[in-house]
Chains A and B, each alone.
Chain A
Amino acid sequence: MARYVANRLAQAIMLLVIVSAIGFAILHMAPGGPLSQFAVSGQMTQEDLDRVTRQLGLDRPLPIQYLDWFGRMLKGDWGRSYRDGEAVLSVISSHLGATLELMATATVIAVLLGCWIGVLGALRRYSLFDSLATVGAMIALSIPTFWFGLVTIYVFSVKLGWLPAGNRETIGDGSFLDLLHHLIAPSLVLALVETAMWGRFMRSSMLEVINQDYIRTARAKGMPEWRILTVHALRNALLPMITVAGLQLPTLLGGALVAETVFTWPGMGRLFLDSIGYRDYPVVMGILMFSATIVLIGSLLADILYAVVDPRIRVG
């Protein structure tokens, strides 16, 4: 087990290095590189630009700059926002709570609903419910999240007036119920794609399990059907879902960005788009690297957790 974890950890670190190299390359791909922000203001002379170049160390060879940049990233120094000079990491962390709240709520909805749909679909394979769920899942995966958000706003905010059309709270209120009220629409919109994915994976995982010999054995022993389903089938079918949770992270983060934009949710995705609008490259790069790191750590944790619960994985 320790060997598996060490192995997997080494892989993740190597991946982090490549990820950071890609991020660094993108940063220098910008027209004018990291200097472009100063160049566009138009108030700086060439001498000023040269001075800034030296101050930021941009006149050094690229590999040295990369090592320096990567080293500072590891120490938590991710640069400062062009907008207000605040440290990038603290800008991100001040927006992270709203995003995590949205992502966690959507995940809970998606896991519960998706697993239920998937299990039922597998048990009643090719039934009307299964067919509808399969078609519905495919459509859910194909709807642009932002458009689904617009439709939700139109129906539930404009027409019915049940839900607020955006923001995290009513200004001056901010009670628990008010927060909850604002959370419903964006988290449901974000949960749509996730539910479809969980449902599809859960269905195929369940189908695989219920055809196993040990299920037949349990049946032959005369075990009640509900006990076979919960104790034997469901428990084993849920194991691979740990991997799904890891795989889900990039989609979840991307979906959160879109949902936050439509519902003016003050999270990391919205910050990312605002920063792109302001050409605030340190924050843009910071969020890009931050999201990639979350995905990396997420899949690492998923793999390790899967190995803990399923000993067969460690050997392979």
Chain B
Amino acid sequence: MAIAALSNVQLAPGQAAWRRFRRHRLALAGAVIILVLVLGSAFGPYLLPFDDTYIDIMKRFAPPLSGAHILGTDELGRDVLARLMMGGRVSLSIGIVAMVMATVVGIVVGAFAGFYGGVIGAVLMRLVDAVLCFPTIFLLLTLAALTEPGLVTTTVLIAATAWMWVARVVEAQVRSLREREFAVAALAFGSSNLRIMFHELVPNAIAPIVVAATLNVAKAILLESYLSYLGYGIQPPAASLGNMLNNAQIYLTSAPWLAIAPGVAITLAVTSFNFLGDGLRDALDPRMNIP
């Protein structure tokens, strides 16, 4: 008993977190699947004899496992697996880049609101509340309809509708950390406000930020698929997991495989990031038990 307690004490915080994370088997599975998806979409296209935009009208609607096309071909005779891998590249990139942008904006807004409080904090956080009033898909579609669709626009717009959760998390953390001794000490040393905010307070709030960021990747991939499915995201001939499903409904009766592969890929990617985020939450901060 005493030995067990002692060995617990000696564990570095990082080690303890890693232990908790390892116990979370679904999160581990999520991490492995993400790795496979990333490697597959990064290097897979080089291993395939087909180009994702190569049109072969003679081989339209080849079902999966017919000849060289493992996942079949689409309405223009393009190889579905090649498109899936290129689409995976686009969707995963959008997910990760949008997450980084949303996290940076969220950290800046949250840090300023939490550190200064008062009028500045109230105004910033009411802005967060106001943006959260708009159902994400409605806001996203309106913005997308007003701008030129494309890779950059899609990424920026998704980030613009996803930063609020990070801001809320950071604001709450910074507001409580601001009163702690190390922050007061930094102030006494004459550190500037910006230095205290981004060198002292934000790094101490990194655990919940990482969790929120991971869950944001899942959300961003999902939003990309909605936007592209509805025709306002990534534009053909470029593939994304969402726009591959664009025409799938028309050919649902004759070529159902066109709908299956991209849908499974999206679900797999989003589920994996969600499980990873859940596992990180349990590992990094056992007290944060938000469902």
Binding site for B on A (CB under 8 A): 14-15, 18-19, 22, 26, 29-31, 135, 138-139, 141-147, 150-151, 153-154, 158, 200-201, 203-204, 249-251, 253-254, 257-258, 261-262, 272-273, 276, 279, 284-285, 287-288, 291-293, 295-296
Query: In whole angstroms, what is the CA distance A273 to B227 when docked?
Result: 11
Residue contact A147 to B245, C-beta cutoff 8 Å? yes
Residue contact A147 to B267, C-beta cutoff 8 Å? yes
Residue contact B263 to A22, C-beta cutoff 8 Å? no
For residue B197, CB closer than 8 A to chain A, the reply is no
- Given A135-B26, A144-B225, output 18 extra A-B contacts at Cβ < 8 Å: A18-B127, A22-B131, A143-B267, A146-B229, A146-B245, A150-B248, A150-B259, A154-B252, A158-B252, A158-B256, A201-B291, A204-B289, A249-B135, A254-B136, A254-B137, A257-B137, A257-B141, A291-B135
Nearest first, the 4 A-B pairs at minimum CB distance are A147-B263, A142-B270, A18-B130, A254-B137
Query: In whole angstroms, what is the CA distance A96 to B252 when docked?
Result: 29
Residue contact A150 to B142, C-beta cutoff 8 Å? no
Residue of B129, B232, B289 near A276 (CB, 8 A) is B232
- Secondary structure of the A side of the interface? helix
Query: In whole angstroms, what is the CA distance A151 to B26 when docked?
Result: 25
Determine the residue in chain A with the shortest Cβ distance to B134. A292
Residue contact B225 to A291, C-beta cutoff 8 Å? no
Residue of A142, A146, A258, A293 near B218 (CB, 8 A) is A142
27 A-B residue pairings within 8 Å (CB atoms)? A15-B129, A18-B129, A19-B130, A19-B134, A22-B130, A22-B131, A29-B143, A135-B26, A142-B218, A142-B274, A143-B267, A143-B270, A144-B226, A144-B270, A147-B225, A147-B267, A150-B252, A153-B252, A251-B135, A254-B138, A284-B142, A284-B145, A288-B142, A291-B134, A292-B133, A292-B134, A292-B138
Known: A22-B130, A150-B252. A272 touches B138 (CB 8 A): yes
Determine the residue in chain A with the shortest Cβ distance to B143. A26
Query: In whole angstroms, what is the CA distance A150 to B143 when docked?
Result: 26
Size of B's binding interface in residues, CB under 8 A: 45
For residue B266, CB closer than 8 A to chain A, the reply is yes
Tell me how far the C-beta of B258 lies from the nearest C-beta in chain A, rounded to whole angstroms: 10
Tell me how far the C-beta of B144 lies from the nearest C-beta in chain A, rounded to whole angstroms: 8
Query: In whole angstroms, what is the CA distance A292 to B139 when docked?
Result: 9
Residue contact B266 to A144, C-beta cutoff 8 Å? yes
CB-defined contacts of B137 to chain A, threshold 8 Å: 254, 257-258
Query: In whole angstroms, what is the CA distance A162 to B252 when docked?
Result: 16
Query: In whole angstroms, what is the CA distance A212 to B4 when docked?
Result: 30
For residue B271, CB closer than 8 A to chain A, the reply is yes
Residue contact B146 to A139, C-beta cutoff 8 Å? no
CB-defined contacts of B66 to chain A, threshold 8 Å: none
Known: A22-B130, A31-B146. A144 touches B135 (CB 8 A): no
